[in-house]
Amino acid sequence: MTEATAPIIRPDARPVLGVFWMLVTGICFVAVTATVKVVGADVPPAQAAFLRYALGLVFLIPMIPAMRAAHLGRRQLGLFGIRGAVHTLGVICWFYAMTQIPIAEVTAMNYLNPVYVTVLAVFVLGERMALRRILAVGVALLGALIILRPGFRELNGGHLAMLFTAASFAVGYLIAKIMADEVAPAVVVFMLSVTVTVGLAPFAWFVWVPVTWEQLGWLFLTATFATAGHFSMTLAFQAAPLAVTQPVTFLQLVWATALGALVFGEAADGWVILGGAMIIAAISFITWREAVLKRRGVTPAVSQTKH
């Protein structure tokens, strides 16, 4: 690999540490799906999602000083409101999908988020997409078709819900990218958690059923693992460039497949693994190309989609 094409490695980068934190991130996010799977359909998706976010509000207490210092304007509040609205619908669909399709399929289809972000960035942020990036997006979409295999097997509402979830999260990530340049990261996280909790409340009230302390415990674990996963992901991004950490996310699909098979009795599907691998390969290529363009002094498109 020549100097002109090598990915950027900062002088203070620690690739091994970055890979380690990304491994921890994958474990945390798989644990999130597992705890939601345990609760299952006993609690309606909207209510389960609301309880997950409401119980997680305790983790926002350290962020209050940053919120007080933010002095958000009307435009910023409007963008945060839009992000909260689309994320609310996406979260409900994600919780619903967890009750309908295997963990591995949910995980694999969730990888479409950065692909959608790359495409949306062209229309929303006016960024250009070169031929190689278009081909990478095509490979990712082909991977999604391999996972879904329409016409070769019956698709249910869970698959459609995950397609919508990935798209809605992509919109939210783009708004987060815009706001991350204007306010502190803690403000972005705080506003998402609060707006989604408020947005989920009426949906949860409409379908509310009594819950047990055990179910509350599992949903609190969901919130804990989700918070820990986002924190460890931030540490991974600080330690090493995305070109190093992005491919590690594929292991999340491997772990999700193993968990589904060993704990929940879900048959391992080689087509899901293949499709997920194609999506991750496409994302990794897009990430690597951005590192190359940045090294050449060219403005890259969106790649860091998780906030």
Q: Tell me the domain boundaries of the chain.
A: 15-295
pLDDT at 172 over 60: yes
Integer Cα distance of 213 and 85 in angstroms? 29
* Secondary structure of the chain as H, E, C letters: CCCCCCCCCCCCCCHHHHHHHHHHHHHHHHHHHHHHHHHHHHCCHHHHHHHHHHHHHHHHHHHHHHHHCCCCCHHHHHHHHHHHHHHHHHHHHHHHHHCCCCHHHHHHHHCCHHHHHHHHHHHHCCCCCCHHHHHHHHHHHHHHHHHHCECCECCCHHHHHHHHHHHHHHHHHHHHHHHHCCCCHHHHHHHHHHHHHHHHHHHHHHHCCCCCHHHHHHHHHHHHHHHHHHHHHHHHHHHCCHHHHHHHHHHHHHHHHHHHHHCCCCCCCHHHHHHHHHHHHHHHHHHHHHHHHHHCCCCCCCCCCCC
**Are 140 and 279 within 8 A, CB to CB?**
yes
Percent of the chain scoring above 90 in pLDDT? 27
CB atoms under 10 Å from CB of 240, counted, come to: 24
- Over the stretch 142-168, which tens digit does the pLDDT of each residue have? 888 888 887 677 778 888 999 899 889
What residue has token string 């460039």? 241
pLDDT at 286 over 80: no
Q: What is the pTM of this model?
A: 0.79
Q: What is the mean pLDDT of residues 285-293?
A: 71
Q: What is the mean pLDDT of residues 242-247?
A: 68
Mean pLDDT, all residues of the chain: 82
Higher pLDDT residue, 1 or 236?
236
- Over the stretch 120-135, which tens digit does the pLDDT of each residue have? 777 776 777 777 778 8
Lookup: tokens for 62: 């350290």
Integer Cα distance of 224 and 32 in angstroms? 9
Handedness of CA 246, 291, 129, 183 (dihedral sign): positive
Percent of the chain scoring above 70 in pLDDT? 87
Tell which residue, 205, 225, 198, has the closest CA to residue 31: 225
Q: Is 152 exposed, middle or buried (0-12, 13-18, 19+ CB in 10 A)?
A: exposed
pLDDT at 295 over 60: yes
Q: What is the mean pLDDT of residues 106-132?
A: 78
Q: pLDDT tier at 3 (50, 70, 90 boundaries)?
A: very low
pLDDT at 101 over 80: yes
Q: pLDDT tier at 202 (50, 70, 90 boundaries)?
A: very high
**Are 46 and 200 within 8 A, CB to CB?**
yes
